[in-house]
Chain A
């Protein structure tokens, strides 16, 4: 800690986007993509904390069979809120709207996104949607699960409309962001930045944006139909009014399966940046990774039926969806192999972003492989709607998306704020999170295979031991994530200056000071080398 002395403010780039203008108004009306990224950082972190509290309540309730301190109705509301908040308010926006907003323009050498006002609007729309969704807590939060299956969601007395309206509005925020990124990538790349000199994070965010723009409207339509049915009795899904409940599932998953890739693709982009930088060598299989992002985006539209293998769709449909589901596993597998090969003949260092990336690889591999279990028709019949599925998607969404997001946050934090967090505490927290995560979710695979259904307020005594383990893991996760928030916030006040390029990376955002100047680049950069040509550029680390 004594090394802190002698670090003077002059080490920070001036003027930078943080200090250029002051006052609340300069933030709330900012058109700077970097500041909007920070607005998202604050709001999604709040959402993460709220969603985390709900998760904790779930794990406390499941610590023992029987009711502990909630009624079953409250429990049903809590798991609905946990899912809806984590998915719609945190994971979907987190990486694109925070890190994508901040770094996509910088990585392609642009001053800003194509439509800065739309960008700011997307944040306000997000806040508005979030308020609606959370307001429903006050009026009797929805108890439908984040999937809003009909006819339950048409019948229940809780405020489904408030929640779905919130989700609908959030969808528009997501569409705005996606649209903005697509145009930005097409129009604003710096001279010399050909498609194949574009960083893989940009490719990933671009593929994500395509899904956001094409799939989210379907969710919007579905939710509008649901609201019409609830509010005006227009029968679309409820058989009592002549509708078909399975139609809802088709509509819902037509969005929500691609949405899974909205959540994971950006994280894959981050891993593609972090691993070469900390291996100090060019990425292995650049084109394979780039194309596999697009392949995932495309195939992800064709697999929604794998959520409905036991709902009574025809065997032929089930077979097609199963086959396509396997095909979408291939590009993900290819990425994992490429990342692994990128370490071959590197010069590896193990700062926190790299440790997060390695954890991502491990957890995502388990999440992906258990996804193959679910694609196998006969096996899915047994484990569908059990804790096996819960474990699988937490390995993908927390082990994949959130660990990827944290890898990115730790990677770019010194660029965003000019200061370095405590590498020691970051490593400790990572170890706690890694152990806590596996302790929480691995037992759930076994619970699921043994037949414990999901969304159960109470369970048979034979499932108790594994539930206790899972709850213990949950508390460890709480400690781990709590530590991350603490040391990151502390770093803002006490962190050492990181310099322009602390990790020795070769993409454009590291070529300017930290924190970056308001307009990113003094003059439009000219791109002469690829994003991972370390052996050509030989970048020097500015930290420690």
Chain B
């Protein structure tokens, strides 16, 4: 059973993954069976009934055979009905969330994932879950449709802007798994990837605590630098001056910024803060208003840290000149 599994399938990391794999394996062998039967017949006919003489002969051959035709309609019909029931039962298992599940909110937006845990902790592009506990995911999107996909768990669910998607999984081992966005969402669709980190129950609790106090003890610039990548700023704002989906952050702080409404502002602390929490308030000339709001994603200390970090990017340019 596992011979194809090991060769082709990705590692199985959730409780229902083996059930999906059993179906996949069955389907693979069933397909092989049909291919062998049909092409066995075709190859046999090709050899046995190839034209012998210079001219083809016209034999009288059976035009149909009711018994045979009924057989080859009924057998596939039974087979697909069987597959339907089997597939549906596993599907229900994948959809019905166990009662005691731990609920985590998943928010997708161009082009990163953020996760909110029951006690209010958040993380971006990394979902941390305890092993051996059912996790209920409450999925939504802030812009277009995305899709939450972890191949190792055999789980996929679209995130919609106007309603919640609900699904669940239970990880079976400690380890790391890739997380992809599976519904095309534009420019950085293929960069909208993250990780699911499965940890022990104790580690999970520790992680929740440290994430609530993350950055403590770090100088704000350094903390800001980390946030800049982990919170997805880097996806749109380069650090080397090349414009991307948003302006590069090199030398922005303290400079004069031209806005779409014709006015201009100096990029001071308040402006940057507003840009992060209320990005649609002032739009930089030449760019689309696509920056997501970080209102519920970043805590105050984190915004401060980011501002501190952006300052260092302006110091570098002035010293470089």
- Answer yes or no: B210 CB below 8 A from chain A CBs: no
Per the bound structure, the CA–CA distance linking A333 and B20 in Å amounts to 25
Cβ of A221 within 8 Å of any chain B Cβ, yes or no, is no
A382-B156, A456-B190 known; A504 and B56 CB under 8 Å? yes
- Chain B residues within 8 Å of chain A by Cβ, number: 85
Scan residues 50-74 of chain B and give those whose CB is less than 8 A from a CB of chain A.
Answer: 50-52, 55-65, 68-69, 72-73
Comparing A150-158, A252-260, A490-498, the segment that makes contact with chain B is A150-158
- Assuming the contacts A348-B50, A449-B9, asked whether A535 and B58 have C-beta atoms less than 8 A apart, the reply is yes
Instruction: Tell me the chain A residues, 327-355 only, with Cβ under 8 Å from chain B.
Output: 327, 329-330, 333-334, 336-337, 340-341, 343-350
Q: Of the candidates B34, B59, B94, B184, which one forms a contact with A152 in the assembled complex, judged by CB atoms under 8 Å apart?
A: B184
Q: Report which of B38, B46, B182 forms a contact with A386, defined as CB distance below 8 A.
A: B182
Which single member of B49, B88, B161 contacts A151 (CB below 8 Å)? B161
Please give, as numbers and ranges, the residues of chain B lying within 8 Å of A423 by CB-CB distance. none
A345 to B149, CA, bound (A): 51
- Interface pair A460/B64, CB less than 8 Å apart: no
- Closest chain-B Cβ to A467's Cβ sits at a distance in Å of 13
A365 in contact with B35 (CB, 8 Å): yes
Contact status of A379 and B63, CB under 8 A, knowing A72-B190, A346-B45, A362-B39: no
Could you list some 19 contacts between A and B, CB below 8 A? Answer: A149-B184, A239-B161, A245-B161, A312-B165, A340-B38, A341-B65, A344-B49, A350-B46, A358-B46, A378-B88, A379-B23, A379-B87, A381-B154, A381-B155, A382-B154, A451-B10, A453-B180, A455-B190, A456-B189
Task: Give chain A residues whose Cβ lies under 8 Å from the Cβ of B61.
Answer: 281-282, 284, 344-346
A281–B59 contact, CB under 8 A? Answer: yes
Given contacts A151-B145, A373-B27, contact A348 B87 (CB under 8 A): no
Residue of A nearest to B60 (CB): A535
- Interface: A458 (CB within 8 A): yes
1/0 contact string of A429-444 vs chain B (CB within 8 Å): 0000000000000000
Judge whether A2 is part of the interface by a CB distance below 8 angstroms: no
- Is residue B320 contacting chain A, with contact meaning CB distance below 8 A? no
Q: How far is the CB of A247 from chain B (nearest CB, A)?
A: 10
A288 at the A/B interface (Cβ < 8 Å)? yes
> Which stretch from A113-121, A166-174, A316-324 is at the chain B interface?
A316-324
Closest B-chain residue to A145, C-beta based? Answer: B184
B63 touches A366 (CB 8 A): no
Distance from B196 Cβ to chain A, minimum over Cβ atoms (Å): 12
How many A residues touch the partner, as a band?
A: 35 or more
Q: Find chain B residues with CB under 8 A from A348 CB.
A: 45-46, 49-51
Nearest first, the 3 closest Cβ-Cβ pairs linking A and B are A451-B151, A376-B87, A378-B90
Seen from chain B, the residues whose Cβ lies within 8 Å of a Cβ on chain A are 8-10, 16, 19-20, 23-24, 27, 30-31, 34-35, 38-39, 41-42, 45-46, 49-52, 55-65, 68-69, 72-73, 76-77, 80-81, 83-84, 86-88, 90-95, 143-145, 147, 149, 151-152, 154-158, 160-163, 165, 178, 180-191, 193, 288
Q: How far is the CA of A315 from the CA of B20 in the complex (A)?
A: 17
Contact B42 A379 (CB under 8 A): no
A464 in the interface (beta carbon within 8 A): no
B81 to chain A: which residues have CB within 8 Å?
Answer: 326
